[in-house]
Amino acid sequence: MSALTVLAAELGGERVGVRCVGGRIEAIGPEVGAAPGDETLDAAGAHLVPPLINGHTHAAMTLFRGSGGDLPLMPWLEERIWPVEAKLTGEDVYWGTRLACAEMIRTGTTRFWDMYWHPEATARAVADAGIRATIGAPLFDVGRSAEEMRSSALASLELLGEAGPLVSPALAPHSIYMVSENSLRWIGELSAERQVPIQIHLSETQKEVEDCIAAHGVRPAFYLDRLGVLNERAVLAHGVWLDPEELALIAERGATVVTNPVANMKLAVGGVFSHPAARAAGVQVGLGTDGAGSNDSLNLLADLKTFALIQKHAAADPTAIEAAEAWAVATGARAPLLGAGAPLSVGAPADFLLLTADAPELGVGDLTADLVYAASGAVVDTTVVAGRTLMRGGELPGLGETVARTAERARGLGL
Ligand SMILES: [Zn+2]
């Protein structure tokens, strides 16, 4: 079995070795060295840290990067996004996702949660790039039949279940306004039967909340709960307008909220998901970028600063969130469902980063505070996933081709 041993990495003030066998960490500590035949990597004092988890994105939307036109949400969707999405092919999605994976590997994300068209093409891109993803086909039955939606859901679970060890399937109902009550209930039952997670956009805009109350008499989280969709398998993207009763219910049901502060600010949704209120209620929280169409970056390490700052700003309180807590959210430590496990420990998947030892942003002061407030993804030197070195010395093999092929696909779509 192939083994990778990283030598002389900086961890908590000491130099450690990490030996990875069969995609897992077999040993980690000051005494750990390489065995004969191991591939070795001299970290030369680079900081060893767990990788980041992007809890909500639409990876292939890198195709739409830079063409948002600074429009409001609905004209942006109706004029720029939906007409082009109707023409997308699997090949477009493959290259858009490869570009997204390249950006994530370069900026320290090794696992992402995705909802997009042609999920089989996303899965192929993820496997080829070597990172991890939980993928769901966008499900909706507004504008098409519930039957069509159900067969698409079942087919996608089958395809994604066979996509290899780096990919796991999910059900991805788009939102409570794009999926009917009966279909949401059906998705909840299917999720329980197959034990697969659900990703859904929830409480992104005030209008969504008002419409939900008008149509169903309750706020969005209570509506989902009534339909059997709010449970420990659910990942709720955004949650900007959740009120205290909804946060208490989400905590009780064990669901996860993924906040996407940069996309929310770019689309000017007008509110801020309150991390202090969610934490106090006991809600599990992750961080996401949302798609490159509405961010436009997938650099989660940069968004981490925005996340921390907007929490402080909205609360008018600089102690509203501390650097260590923000870092825990970005690395998935506050939301077990997102898949971080116990990183950098014996038996854990061999997924980690080495950060440039002499990066000016990391040279002085507390490393975690520097990562949150000073660094961006540019400090990532090496990215390892499942014991495979995907990037070393900031060099990602094949990047030039990925950028060129994706740009060509985007031009072909008229973007
Ligand atoms: Zn989204």
Determine the Cα angle at 89 with ends 85 and 91, to 5°: 130
CA of 115 to the centre of ligand 1 (A): 7
CA of 41 to the centre of ligand 1 (A): 37
CA of 196 to the centre of ligand 1 (A): 19
Determine the Cα angle at 200 with ends 198 and 206, to 5°: 155
pTM comes to 0.97
CA of 237 to the centre of ligand 1 (A): 7
CA of 150 to the centre of ligand 1 (A): 21
CA of 268 to the centre of ligand 1 (A): 14
Residue with tokens 């008229």: 414
CA of 199 to the centre of ligand 1 (A): 10
- Give the pair of three-digit tokens for residue 258: 């993924």
Residue 257 has what pLDDT? 98
pLDDT digits (tens, 9 = 90+) for 180-230: 999 999 999 999 999 999 999 999 999 999 999 999 999 999 999 999 999
Contacts of 398 (CB under 8 A, 6+ apart): none
Determine the Cα angle at 378 with ends 374 and 381, to 5°: 120
CA of 254 to the centre of ligand 1 (A): 21
Counted residue by residue, the chain has a size of 415
Residue 70 has what pLDDT? 81
Residue 337 has what pLDDT? 98
**Rounded Cα distance, 251 and 188, in Å:** 18
Assign 82 a pLDDT band (cuts: 50, 70, 90).
confident
CA of 10 to the centre of ligand 1 (A): 36
CA of 138 to the centre of ligand 1 (A): 10
CA of 56 to the centre of ligand 1 (A): 6
CA of 68 to the centre of ligand 1 (A): 15
pLDDT digits (tens, 9 = 90+) for 280-328: 999 999 999 999 988 899 999 999 999 999 999 999 999 999 999 999 9
Residue 258 contacts residue 283 (beta carbons within 8 Å): no
- β-pair type (167-169, 172-173): unpaired
- Give the pair of three-digit tokens for residue 375: 């660094």
Ion ligand 1 contact residues with beta carbon within 5 A: 290
